[in-house]
A = this chain, B = another copy of it.
Amino acid sequence: MRVDPSTHPTVGTAPDGTVLTSAPQDTAVDHATAAARRVVDALLRTDRTNANLERVAEELNSIAEHLEEHAPAVAERLVDMWAGEGVTRHDPVTGPENAIAPPLVVEGREDGSVQSVVTLTMPYQGPPGHAHGGVSALLLDHLLGVANAWAGRSGATAQLNVRYHRPTPLFEPLTLTGRLVAQDGRKINTIGDIRTADGTVCVSVEALFVDKTVPRPR
């Protein structure tokens, strides 16, 4: 049974109050990141012979220069990033402020699993018209971490075993599911998979996590 999608795990909705994933917000930085994500995708799709591409490069460099001029030192920025919602705003899978992230929106379910539906596009391509196998590993590794948090645990990935059953299609909705299945002291076992809309499993994963957290910068 699915919980209301509006209650997908975010600030304070996990059993232990952990922040699981951050919903996109109506803020300038989220707007700018969404636009950058659109540029990344469009650059892979656009006509290579477009005479304006050098002008596009100039404009993008000019934007980057402006943003870099207003960037604090990396050490200072790291402290700030890890305050509040922490990495969930910046990670490369669910982060609304990271243009590399599709981004996945993850929903916690009453049965203890977490789920995300995503349609992958050109930037995530491996074989023709299909997702890169490493991208599937990236998304699942992260999703399993969210599954642990949803179950009230956290830990670093120690082992990630990914099985590829068939190519994972781009341009159609994929359902990613993850679930903590066993715990023994600091060891946590978590599984997950990626399926197409008809339920066909494309990729499955088993992972071992160990609850040894890297300290937050301060």
Q: A residues engaging B (CB < 8 A)? A: 28-29, 31-36, 38-48, 50, 52-54, 56-61, 63-64, 66-68, 70-72, 74, 77-78, 80-82, 87, 90-93, 97-100, 122-130, 132-135, 137-142, 156-164, 167, 171, 213-217
Starting from the known contacts A45-B74, A92-B134, 14 additional A-B residue pairs (CB-CB under 8 Å) come to: A29-B43, A32-B43, A38-B68, A44-B97, A52-B70, A74-B171, A87-B127, A91-B125, A92-B126, A134-B138, A137-B138, A158-B164, A159-B161, A160-B162
Minimum C-beta distance from A189 to chain B (A): 15
A163 to B210, CA, bound (A): 12
The A interface, classified by DSSP as helix, strand, loop or mixed, is helix
Once A31-B54, A132-B142, A159-B164 are accepted as A-B contacts, the answer to whether A39 and B42 lie under 8 Å apart by CB is no
A179 to B162, CA, bound (A): 19
Number of copies of chain A assembled together: 2
Minimum C-beta distance from A134 to chain B (A): 3
Cβ-closest chain B residue relative to A213: B127
Give the residue of B59, B63, B160, B167 whose beta carbon is less than 8 angstroms from that of A156: B167
Contacts of A47 in B (CB 8 A): 70-72
Cβ-closest chain B residue relative to A133: B157
A64 to B50, CA, bound (A): 13
